[in-house]
Structures are given as structure tokens and as C-alpha cells.
């Protein structure tokens, strides 16, 4: 069979790696695959790819989104050119991933999907598909996505709008476009996300819960010189990893936790911007983002405890990667990450730095008596 995957990135970041790995699995079974992407490509030279639009197209789409708050409705000509290529390729299965990211016109895409007659699968990695603006809403404690959006409290968050608030209009347009598509199945990585989908305008589609898989040939306990490189011998390392550290990822909780830990501990945060690294307390080591899987494995393997204080993960790839590397994990209750520790080990605690401290102490006393 011929598969077409569509994602904002290819081989880059968690969603790009997931899409590329699925292509590899299917190609290993004898299927033909192409991964279409709009922004970045990395670490997948063995996967056939095609780019949607150009870097300049992404920039113009991003500018339009910031000015008009209509993310997903730019890149019309780039999408039309891509769809001409799709018709020529003529896939049997179209597998959607992240459609946001300033590279696709969802109106053009779904007009094609509605009448193409193909099997369509859509893996949701966040909640953008059923809101009028945001990709996540729990941190903001917003339930407007259940009633039509409007007066958006997260206009300034991704996908950022500087002036306009078109969240109500976006919600209606997306509802009209995304519903009633024949042969469409939704795939979600957790029961947490499944429950949100079942409360949204996507509720009539069949939904499959499929946990993301981790490449155990890559993520496993491994020898590491990370401690010696950074002078952390004898320290108990509390690790956090994120592509972008913002409020919903729990950076403030880590800084609060740093004040509660004694001198035996050091917190290591991977993925910080330079501006964030300049203002860290003495017992927090800030490192930039790395796309080297080998480096990530070395860091995971060196840590004593992995802490994920994010409140809005739809799965929690970093938590699963840490567990595969043999590192204990602490997450918050009521999140998708709780599903991971429930099945693969770790502790889920109520929100707050003191609860994190107690769990970290419990786990490190077990590993460092």
C-alpha cells in the first residue's frame, strides 16, 4: 500500500520522530511511504520526504497568524501545489499528524480529504484540532472549547496573535471543516486526550488509543560521562527535559523545588533558552536543547530522578524515554503522564513543589541509601 504522512516536521522533535519511525515500520513491511512536512527535516535520510511550501511561506503564514489570528488559513497556494502532487502520488492511506505550524491551509486540505475516497488516519498530539486558538487549555483552566470559544485567554500563546481574537470564528471554521469526513479514524496517545476528544466536536469519529512507542535500541541504560563532564560526581541529579520551557511545562515548579532541596541535590534542565539560563539559582544547571539522541540517553542514564511537572502533556515522551533509560520518574496526577508511571513505574503526586520534593526524596533515598 501507498502511505502519505503529513506533519509539520520530519524526524525532528517528538512528533517528527514518531511520524518518521512509523514510516520506517511500514516500509519494513513492504509498504511505500512518503512523509510530507512544512518546517524542519532532520535525522531521517532513510525516509522519503517532500516539503510543503518554503521557509518564506512559513514566515508569511506566521506573520498573518500573528496579525489576523487565523492560524491554519495561510499557505493557500503552497497547499494547492502540494495537493496537485498528492493527486499524482495517489496514496491509499493519508495519515495526518500536526497540521498546525504555519505551513498548511486546512480549508484546502480538508476540501480535498472530504471527497478523495481515501482511508484517513489522524494522530492527535495536542488539542489544537478542536479549539479556536490554543493547543492546550488545562493550564489556563479554560473550557471555552466546549461551548464555541471566544474571548480567548491564551491569545498571546502559541499560535500567538498580537492584536485580533478570532477564536470564535476559528472554532466554527474548524468544526465545519473537520467534521463529517468519510473514512476518518482518530488516533490519540492517551486516555487523557481521548476523554477531551469525546467532549469535543470530533466526538463522532472512532477513536483509537495507541501509546507512542520508544525505540529501545536507542533509549536504554547506557554508560555516561555526563556527571564528570559537569562536575556532578556525588550529587543526586533531578532532571527535566523539554523542547521549550514555558509556564505550562512547569519551569516555575522546578525553581520552587530548587529552594526546597538540600546541597546533596542538583537540578539539570535541558532545553532552556540562553536568556533563561542566565537567571538560574546555583543548584540548577541549565543546558540548551539537544537533538542528539545519544546525548539525551547519556543525560537520562546519569540522572537519579526524572521530574515532569507539565500539566498539559498528551502523552509525555520524555517521561517514557527516561523510564526506558532506567531513571525513576515523578509526574503530576490528573495528567497523561500519570498513565505512563501507572504502567511503567514511577510516582504521580498532587501539584506543587513540596509534593515533588517528597517524591524525589523517597526515590533518591531508595537509590542512594
Task: Please report the pLDDT score of residue 366 as a whole number.
Answer: 60
Minimal CA–CA distance to 14: which of 210, 243, 328? 243
pLDDT (tens digit per residue) in 77-91: 999 999 999 999 999
139 shares a domain with 245: no
Do 242 and 202 belong to one domain? no
Residue with cell 541535590: 265
Residue 173: what pLDDT? Answer: 98
Q: What is the pLDDT of residue 280?
A: 95
Quote the pLDDT of residue 2. 98
Same domain, 174 and 254: no
**Residue 28, pLDDT score:** 97
Average confidence (pLDDT) over 195-219:
94
- Name which of 125, 250, 114 is nearest 184 in CA terms: 114
- The stretches of 159-291 forming alpha helices (DSSP H) are 167-178, 191-197, 226-229, 251-260, 274-277
| CATH number, residue 287 | 3.40.50.2000
Per-residue model confidence (pLDDT) at position 368? 60
- pLDDT tens profile 9-31: 999 888 999 999 999 999 999 99
Answer yes or no: is 20 within a domain.
yes
Identify the pLDDT of residue 180: 97
Are 39 and 69 in contact by the 8 Å Cβ rule? The answer is no
Q: pLDDT by residue (tens digit) across 160-170?
A: 999 999 999 99
Domain termination site, one of 178, 209, 240: 209
Mean residue pLDDT of the chain comes to 95
Expressed as residue numbers, the domain containing 128 is 2-209
Q: Domain check: are 66 and 136 in the same one?
A: yes
Q: Evaluate whether 95 touches 5 at the Cβ level (below 8 Å).
A: yes
Cell of 266: 542538583
Say what the pTM is.
Answer: 0.89
Helices (H), the chain: 13-28, 55-68, 76-89, 106-115, 167-178, 191-197, 226-229, 251-260, 274-277, 293-302, 317-324, 336-344, 353-367
Indicate if 193 and 322 belong to the same structural domain: no
Is there a single domain that holds both residue 160 and residue 230? no
Is 15 a member of any domain?
yes
The predicted model gives 175-184 an average pLDDT of: 97
Select from 179, 209, 239 the last residue of a domain. 209
In this prediction, residues 122-139 reach a mean pLDDT of 96
Same domain, 255 and 353: yes
Residue 217 falls inside a structural domain: no
185 in the same domain as 54: yes
In a domain, 305, yes or no: yes
* Band of residue 312 on the pLDDT scale cut at 50, 70, 90: confident
C-alpha cell of 313?
502533556
Amino acid at each position: 500500500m501507498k502511505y502519505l504522512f503529513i506533519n509539520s516536521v520530519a524526524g525532528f522533535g517528538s512528533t517528527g520522530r514518531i511520524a518518521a519511525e512509523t514510516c520506517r515500520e511500514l516500509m519494513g513491511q513492504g509498504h511505500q511511504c512518503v512523509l510530507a512536512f512544512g518546517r524542519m527535516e532532520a535525522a531521517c535520510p532513510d525516509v522519503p520526504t517532500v516539503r510543503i511550501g518554503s521557509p518564506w511561506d512559513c514566515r508569511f503564514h506566521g506573520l498573518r497568524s500573528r496579525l489576523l489570528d487565523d492560524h491554519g488559513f495561510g499557505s493557500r497556494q503552497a497547499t494547492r501545489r502540494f495537493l496537485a502532487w498528492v493527486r499524482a502520488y495517489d496514496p491509499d492511506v493519508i495519515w495526518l499528524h500536526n497540521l498546525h505550524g504555519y505551513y498548511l491551509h486546512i480549508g484546502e486540505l480538508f476540501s480535498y480529504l472530504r471527497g478523495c475516497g481515501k482511508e484517513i488516519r489522524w494522530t492527535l498530539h495536542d488539542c489544537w484540532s478542536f479549539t479556536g486558538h490554543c493547543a492546550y487549555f488545562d493550564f489556563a483552566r479554560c473550557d471555552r472549547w466546549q461551548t464555541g470559544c471566544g474571548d480567548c485567554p491564551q491569545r498571546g500563546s502559541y499560535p500567538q496573535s498580537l492584536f485580533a481574537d478570532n477564536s470564535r470564528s476559528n472554532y466554527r471554521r474548524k468544526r465545519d471543516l473537520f467534521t463529517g469526513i468519510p473514512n476518518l479514524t482518530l488516533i490519540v496517545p492517551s486516555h487523557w486526550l481521548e476523554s477531551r476528544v469525546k467532549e469535543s466536536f470530533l466526538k463522532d469519529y472512532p477513536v483509537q488509543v495507541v501509546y507512542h512507542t520508544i525505540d529501545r535500541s536507542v533509549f536504554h541504560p547506557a554508560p555516561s560521562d555526563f556527571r564528570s563532564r559537569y562536575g556532578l560526581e556525588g550529587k543526586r541529579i533531578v532532571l527535566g527535559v523539554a523542547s521549550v520551557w514555558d509556564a505550562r511545562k512547569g519551569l516555575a515548579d522546578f525553581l520552587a523545588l530548587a529552594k526546597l532541596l538540600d546541597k546533596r541535590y542538583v537540578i539539570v534542565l535541558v532545553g532552556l533558552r540562553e536568556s533563561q539560563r542566565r537567571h538560574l539559582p546555583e543548584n540548577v544547571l541549565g543546558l540548551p536543547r539537544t537533538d542528539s539522541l545519544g546525548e539525551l540517553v547519556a543525560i537520562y542514564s546519569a540522572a537519579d530522578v526524572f521530574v515532569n511537572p507539565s500539566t498539559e502533556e498528551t502523552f509525555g515522551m520524555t517521561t517514557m524515554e527516561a523510564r526506558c533509560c532506567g531513571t525513576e520518574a515523578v509526574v503530576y496526577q490528573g495528567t497523561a503522564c500519570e498513565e505512563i508511571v501507572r504502567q511503567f513505574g514511577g510516582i504521580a503526586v498532587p501539584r506543587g513543589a513540596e509534593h515533588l520534593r517528597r517524591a524525589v526524596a523517597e526515590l533518591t533515598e531508595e537509590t542512594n541509601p
